[in-house]
Amino acid sequence: MSAARHAVLAGALCLAAVPAAADPAAEFEASAALREAVTEEGLLGHLRSFQRIAEENGGNRAAGRPGHELSADHVAALLEQAGYTVRFERFEFPFFEETVPPVLAAPGFAVERDQIRTLANSASGDVTAPVVPPSGSPLACEASDFQGFTRGAVALVQRGTCTFQTKVGHAAAAGAKGVVIYNEGTEGRTGPFRGQLGDPAPVPVVGVPADLGARLREVRPEVRLAVEARTGTRSSRNVLADGPEGTTGNTVLVGAHLDSVPEGPGINDNGSGSAVVLETALRMAELGGGERPANRVRFAFWGAEEVGLVGSRHHLQSLPEEERGRLAAVLNFDMVGSPNSARLVYDGPAAIGRVFRDYFDSAGLEAGSTPMRGGSDHAPFARAGIPTGGLYTGAGEIKSEESAARFGGTAGQPYDPCYHQACDDLTNIDAAMLHQMADAAAHAVLTLARDPEAGKDREPS
């Protein structure tokens, strides 16, 4: 960037507080300089760095492994150079690693290896026994669902309603020697899936697609279920970068998880979100503005999201009560460059969603909404009652005809066909969509930083 252009942009980026009733057109104009500074090449440069780190460290950036540690060092160094106050937040997390792929085999069943996923914290074991569903609800959320269950069998239960831990606990208490959990069969929840047990299970536990679960339930064959894994404790860390203190004393927390799954480099999941947060932070520091914001902005790069949102939960739990009460808003960016994507806004509090929706309206871009489920780092903050929102472009869910008509792409295919796989690399990114979502993110961060009433619902004017 030329010195002359830098001077023009710096003068245009004003962090002074805005009136509570600021209109969308004024907000859109105020963020123009920052959005211009956030470039596609800048975003892709961060992704190339994450790809290189993964390639040089076993092909991944998983928590507790060198790829994540070096990613954290890389991000921290850039933020420190930009002038932020940077600190690491170290924590321990339960470690689970398969040593060989899981096995689920039955006579007359053709089961593809990639259809079987071991749930984290499954026990190791090799069991041959008949498959038996609960006598009550297939969801297995009540102990009474296992009345009359055949002890020594492999329990076949359906995903949904209650936690995996609850299902496995009831099955094991009824005498099951293993548990197979099949997907719900609803839109976006039909194929293979990953899961996390909160505590180590006493028996092997795997997940399978909905159609395979239906066939097993109908035939009830004898199966061989085998899992080999090791468990323990490992260390990971969050990277936290604070901007200048604001006039309100409140903080807008902007985060993305920096770790990948062990299977791949995680360039969409979640190099994309990390690149958006990093590029926004660097360009905000570069442009400056000279005036204190209404709210401090804290940029967070979470560790160990893929093993149970450990880093974000640790940060929230570590905050003193007074500081927690000063979190005006939390933004989360997880998977924002999916190759078969949709522009989706989390359906959280209106005060947060409005900023994103107003931006997309002003930019002339179609945007939809997505439920704020508990599978990413916004969840701990939302449960604590803190105003929370963010952006998303889809994961392994199947794209509908309606979504394809609205956002382009291919119906009947996943939003991200490489979700949690080795192919989630630089070829697995829609660069144009990533740039659009980055502009929306930068707009929201700046708008909320300038707003003394950030996170509060306003009365209609």
Give the residue numbers annotated as catalytic, written as ranges.
305
Cα 11 from Cα 236, distance rounded (Å): 39
Residues in Cβ contact with 283 at an 8 Å cutoff, skipping those fewer than 6 apart: 34, 37, 38, 42, 442
Residue 367, both tokens:
């945007």
- Between the CA of residue 208 and those of 55, 115, 399, what are the distances in Å? 30, 6, 20
CB atoms within 10 A of CB 387: 23
Cα 34 from Cα 288, distance rounded (Å): 10
Q: What is the DSSP letter of 385?
A: T
Q: What is the DSSP letter of 109?
A: -
Q: Which of 233, 184, 183 is nearest to 207 (CA)?
A: 183
Cα 240 from Cα 315, distance rounded (Å): 10
Contact 153, 225 (CB under 8 A): no
φ/ψ of 48, rounded to 5, equals: -65, -35
Contact 330, 383 (CB under 8 A): no
Burial of 56 (0-12, 13-18, 19+ CB in 10 A): exposed
Cα 215 from Cα 289, distance rounded (Å): 62
Q: Which of 282, 295, 303 is nearest to 442 (CA)?
A: 282
Cα 80 from Cα 285, distance rounded (Å): 10
CB atoms within 10 A of CB 18: 19
3-state secondary structure of 48: helix
Cα 431 from Cα 336, distance rounded (Å): 10
Segments in 319-410 forming alpha helices (H) = 321-325, 350-363, 379-383, 401-407
Cα 427 from Cα 423, distance rounded (Å): 8
Contact 304, 311 (CB under 8 A): yes
Ramachandran bin of 447, using left for φ above 0, alpha for ψ from -120 to 50, beta for the remaining angles: alpha
